A and B are shown apart, each in its own frame.
Chain A
Amino acid sequence: MTDGSVQQAHVHAPPQGFIRKYIFSLDHKIIGKQYYGLALIAVFTGMVLSWLMRIHMVWPTAKIPLLEHLSSAGAPGGIITPEYYLSLMTMHGTLMVFFVLTNAPFAAFGNYFLPIQIGAEDMAFPRFNMMSFWTTFLAWAVLMLAFFIPDGPPIAGWTSYAPLSAVGKDAGPGMEWGMSLWGLSIAIFCIASLLGALNFIATTLDLRAKGMTLMRMPLCTWAWFITSCIALLAFAVLLPACILLILDRHFGTSFYIPAGLVVSDRLQPHSGGSPLLWQHLFWFFGHPEVYIAILPSMGIVSHVLMNSLRKPLLSAKVVIYSMMSIGFLSYMVWGHHMFLSGMNPMSALAFSFPTLTITIPATVLTLIWLGSLYGSNLQINSASLFALGFISMFVAGGVSGFFLAQPSIDIYLHATYFVVGHFHMVMGVASLFGVFAGTYFWFPKMTGRMMNETLGKLHFWITFVGAYCIFMPFHYLGLIGNVRRYQSFVDDYMQPYLPVHKFMTIAALITGAAQFIFLYNLIYSRFKGKVAPINPWNATSLEWSIPSPPPWNNFGDKHPVVYHDPYQYGVKGSQGDFVMQDSPEQVVPASGD
């Protein structure tokens, strides 16, 4: 590009050379794919970790091949020790929450499609974007390092409560360097996420194409935008929390550690700190984090569903306002993780009410999705199956929240499998269904090829039924008081329920195996899939107006102009029952509707 004026017009020069094109790319599409790839590695790792956990729980003497080579202390002879179980559990949670559920629905798809959907050439700050991916990658590498150090990963859970996490190696195996690596990794992740959120916000506010008003943005764009606002505030609080933890661990301060603690027969040289401080800071981040995990999937599902219904959702505005309310309310409820923590019991009630209130926008959303199905012309394909599955799973996971939001019931259900069932349903399943729906939907655009529908449907059925088989029993076990984070169940009252655990383990192994069908489909279709047309789903939003895969600057030399919102389905368009956002044609309603 020698013409300086043309160069001025673009955010960055067209990429040249392998490194610039594929490694340190400034292109949001490559960065989106990089996030997706990282999430894919993280999710399969996390899944294998969960297999190890579940196998250990029901077959404790099982010898796992190769595990001894990873950790001779943690799995001598391939048999997982109690402490190693906790290490696996900690890494499972950390990988899944941070590197899968924050990366895949938000960073991956958001990076890829937000600029295109608003008609921009790239994100506002491509350099920051590239930095934010590679910083995320660094955070992941630091975390994974914990597997390879002699003492192994930390055993404090993904929530790393102080003082267990703060006192250092006296607390147990993995609590010296393993715990420090965790703290460092998460601090780095915070910085990466802040950069990412910044990019999303500025891009959405300022880089929209002509005619692309805020209300004409697709619902998934709205979801990414709202999520990035939440992420900005949430990660800005987790970072200080991690810094204070690192200071307590390595610099002798006492932010979290009170006086007089005797751990492993050693009186700890700290005083005056507050374990509750860690909980407050962590959950102030932690609760919005789970909405960061679910909101993008809600947006993706709304986007995909509408396309499958061939008619607009009952009210996109209501969906947008509901997502906004969820985002807003998410900051007022963090204490519901701390009902029994020793904080003032009055505050339990103060946190309970907004927690219950969040049910309202969540229900509005669910009713809108359901109500929109009425009278539609529902098309079934892999993407829409996962979108419909999302609705089912979101309800299943959401209703258990009714219980946990009430402090009196939480007295009984706190720290039981009921909680684990609840968050796995909403995060581990529903949110992931949104990612699957997005993958099947957008794969043709990202690669220029279609995924195999038969394999996609097979993947759906096994995953859908399997997920219910795994996670529904978690709730029942919670009701009888099955405590969580136990590597085995030695209590008398648990003995009659061990067969349920076996059932769940087998379901988990089968459902997990089915994910390899998905992986195979991804890889095979990437190279051998049927060539995809530019708009295989007859969809309206801007990403379907550009080639598959899109050129480096998305719209070529075209500057898109937007004439419609993305909800023009079920109308008489020149190409069918829809009108694209950038089409200047007038919209004619299909019937007297």
Chain B
Amino acid sequence: MGKLLAVVLVIIAIASAYPIVTHMFPLPVDISTHGHAIDEQLNDTMWEAGTSFVAAQLVLAFFVWSFTGRKEGAPLKNFPGGARVLIIAAFLLVGTEILALGVLGQKAWANVYFTPPQADAIQIQAQAEQFAFYFRYPGPDGKFGGLHPDKIDEGNQNYFGLDPENDVAARDDIVSGELVIPVNRQVHLLMHAKDVGHSFYVRELRIQQDFVPGLDLSLHFTATKIGKYEIVCTQLCGLGHYNMKAYLNVMSEPDYENWLKQQAGQ
């Protein structure tokens, strides 16, 4: 039965690696400027992790095969070098590789989080609520109106709690259920949670960030391909969590300007 285990281990190792090696589950197209670094990191890690996984299963299989069902009185041996060799191997191989990944991976993280948004980034506010995303543009005056939670009125589509009567800056704010942005321009997304924790995730953008009630968080990114991409909520927020989504609509610059004008006209 030990031999059978060895064979099954080999089959499992190969079967597990197969979908990865044949790209059966490919990453979605990368439409961001910082995504390449993340994808590279992911691929490097897949090599490391994948090789470690397969190697370990094969070694386990080989040893189980070789050392089960031995004849009575077969001599016991110790692994050459004993524990010391293995400890050194662990430290050197795994230690350096993993720490290297960690050090190299810093750059991809830094790209997203340690560079400040550009001065001319388009500012858009995203509000996450049970169970929808809404996006607010400052409008022609370039200023966001204030948020007043007591003025929120879902029925009248005042999702953000704007007070246009008393707040001049709020009068021309554009509210949209879709995140419309121009291609190749940096967007600075200001994130506001209305009720509980949510999260903003666009696979193609390689971006994910929690909305934390009470915290002013923001993201900045640049989309490089025109198209419609799904925004999904990835922080459990209640019964409608699975259905909480919106679309990221990346348009050409002229189309974007047109859209803004249309929205402002309404």
Chain A residues engaging chain B, CB cutoff 8 angstroms: 81-83, 86, 155-157, 161-164, 167, 171-173, 257-265, 267, 273-276, 310-311, 314-315, 318, 340-342, 345, 348-349, 352-353, 356-357, 359-360, 363-364, 366-368, 370-380, 385, 388, 391-392, 395-396, 399-400, 402-403, 405-409, 411-412, 414-416, 457, 464-465, 468, 472, 476-477, 479-481, 483-493, 497, 570, 590-591, 593
Contact = CB atoms under 8 A, between A and B. Distances in A.
Nearest to B245: A491
Contacts of A408: 37-38, 41, 105-109, 112
A479 B24 CA distance: 10
Contacts of A261: 149, 194-196, 213
A83 B238 CA distance: 8
B37 A488 contact: no
Given A370-B63, A408-B105, A590-B76, A341 B210 contact: yes
A380 B5 contact: yes
Given A263-B195, A486-B242, A373 B67 contact: yes
A374 B207 CA distance: 46
Interface string B224-240: 00000010111111111
A396 B49 CA distance: 9
A158 B44 CA distance: 33
A406 B53 contact: no
A263 B130 contact: yes
Contacts of B95: 357, 359-360
The winner among A371, A391, A476 for most chain B CB atoms within 10 A is A371
Given A275-B212, A348-B109, A371-B83, A164 B70 contact: no
Interface stretch (B84-92, B162-170, B181-189, B256-264): B84-92
The winner among A162, A359, A377, A412 for most chain B CB atoms within 10 A is A412
Contacts of A364: 86-87, 90
B121 interface: no
Interface string B58-84: 011001100111100011111100110
30 contacts: A163-B195, A258-B214, A262-B129, A262-B152, A263-B196, A274-B214, A340-B210, A341-B212, A342-B210, A363-B93, A364-B86, A367-B86, A367-B90, A368-B86, A370-B59, A380-B69, A402-B52, A403-B49, A406-B41, A409-B108, A411-B38, A477-B25, A479-B25, A480-B26, A480-B27, A481-B28, A488-B242, A490-B242, A491-B245, A497-B25
A129 to B, nearest CB: 36
Contacts of B114: 345
A407 B45 contact: no
B8 A409 contact: no
B222 interface: no
A412 B208 contact: yes
Given A403-B49, A483-B201, A491 B230 contact: yes
B188 to A, nearest CB: 16
Contact of A403 (B2, B42, B78, B230): B42
A491 B28 CA distance: 14
Interface of B: 1-2, 5, 8-9, 12, 15-16, 19-20, 24-28, 37-38, 41-42, 45-46, 48-50, 52-53, 56-57, 59-60, 63-64, 67-70, 74-79, 82-83, 86-87, 89-91, 93-95, 98-99, 101-102, 105-109, 112-114, 129-130, 147, 149-150, 152, 154, 161, 194-197, 199, 201, 203, 206-210, 212-215, 217, 230, 232-243, 245
Contacts of A373: 60, 63-64, 67
B157 to A, nearest CB: 14
B125 to A, nearest CB: 15
Contacts of B239: 81-83, 86, 155, 172-173
Contacts of A86: 236, 238-239, 241
Given A263-B130, A276-B212, A359-B94, A380 B68 contact: yes
Contact of A172 (B16, B112, B238): B238
A102 to B, nearest CB: 22
Contact of A476 (B9, B20, B67, B105): B20
A377 B2 CA distance: 11
Nearest to B215: A342
The winner among B49, B87, B194, B236 for most chain A CB atoms within 10 A is B236
A112 to B, nearest CB: 28
Contacts of B233: 483
Contact of B241 (A352, A366, A486): A486
A408 B103 CA distance: 11
Contacts of B107: 408
Contacts of B210: 340-342
B2 to A, nearest CB: 5
Nearest to B106: A349
The 10 closest A-B pairs by CB, nearest first: A258-B214, A375-B77, A315-B83, A408-B108, A415-B234, A345-B113, A83-B239, A486-B242, A373-B63, A481-B203
A82 B235 contact: no
Contact of A411 (B57, B207, B237): B207
Contacts of B243: 82, 490
A314 B82 contact: yes
A396 B214 contact: no
A341 B60 CA distance: 39
